[in-house]
Structure 1
Amino acid sequence: MNGFLKLFLIIIVAGVVGGGVFLASWDIPAPSTQVEKVLDDSQFPR
């Protein structure tokens, strides 16, 4: 049982470290949709 627990912990730690490396090195593309919104002139003080 002790060997199984060590193997399980090693797998969990390797998964967490691997996930961290993946997220740190992943080049997430920026959103490319253009947003246009009409603002009413009465919202801005003169």
Structure 2
Amino acid sequence: MSRLIVALIVILVVLVGGLFFLAGRETKKEPVRMEKVVPLENLAK
């Protein structure tokens, strides 16, 4: 096999492995509670 084909196969295997690694990561975050001041004019409508 030529070096070009071997290099393409290695790059393809690395890319597919990286995709599976990123897909399997746990990225769950807890929601952050934010309090915001609401003017009374907006509530009167």
Instruction: Please say whether Structure 1 and Structure 2 have the same fold, judged by a TM-score greater than 0.5.
Output: yes
TM-score category by the smaller chain?
Answer: 0.5 to 0.7
Provide the TM-score with structure 2 as the length reference: 0.64
Give the gaps of 5 or more residues in structure 1.
Answer: none
**Structure 2 regions of 5+ residues with no counterpart?**
none
TM-score for the superposition, normalised by structure 1: 0.64
Q: How many residues matched?
A: 45
Aligned-pair Cα RMSD in Å: 2.2
Ranges of 4+ aligned residues in structure 1 off by more than 6 Å? none
Q: What is the aligned-residue identity percentage?
A: 29
Q: Distance in 2 between matches of 1:41 and 1:26?
A: 44
